[in-house]
Amino acid sequence: MDVVVLVSGRGSNLRAICAAIDAGICDANVVGVVSDRRNAAALEFAKRRGIPTKTVSLRKGDDRDAWNESLADEVATLNPELVVLAGFMRVLGAPLLERFPGRIINVHPALLPSFAGHNGPQDALDGGVRISGCTVHIVDAGVDTGPILAQAAVPVLADDTADTLHARIQVQEHQLLPRVIHQIALGAITLDPLTVSTPVADPDRSLCVPDA
């Protein structure tokens, strides 16, 4: 399955996807990496692997509608079967959503529907929960509101900061996201914006709290 990955930063989830592909446990081919930031470390990683890269920058004062159109056009030139948001820190507009309906997924560092938005780990700490984790979901027009495909949990420790909690959540993200992509490639998870099946936990195992 041909995949385009959208990134904004260092690309740890992109690296995890590529590692799973190399290990033969993710039946996908990353055909392009697109970023909204020219200096994103993920772009250099992609270039070293020979993966085509594109940058569609959005600066303060830029026309957001024009940016959304440009982003959709650039992604479409790569002809992906699936678009994966892996640390992409922008809310997608209608042009990309309409171009790839039900074929865009995101990984979010919280157990949705709780703690949507850009600060999931800190929100979990502020909320006093004992379990947090990550969610892979279909992207819709809202912010982290699309149908949930899979989740994995981690304990929230008494001495956690947002950074330490996020680091443990990312360990689970790096396992969960490639597995979900693999399950989509196999047809075990069907992405259909009209008839999404019942959300499941981690496709390979039940939702659980890993050993601390």
Active site residues: 108
DSSP letters, 148-201, are EEEEEEEEPPTT--HHHHHHHHHHHHHHHHHHHHHHHHHTSS---SSSPPPP-S
Strand residue runs (E) in the chain? 2-7, 29-35, 53-55, 82-85, 104-108, 131-138, 148-155
Q: What is the CA radius of gyration of the chain?
A: 16
In the numeric block, which tokens belong to residue 50?
Answer: 């020979």
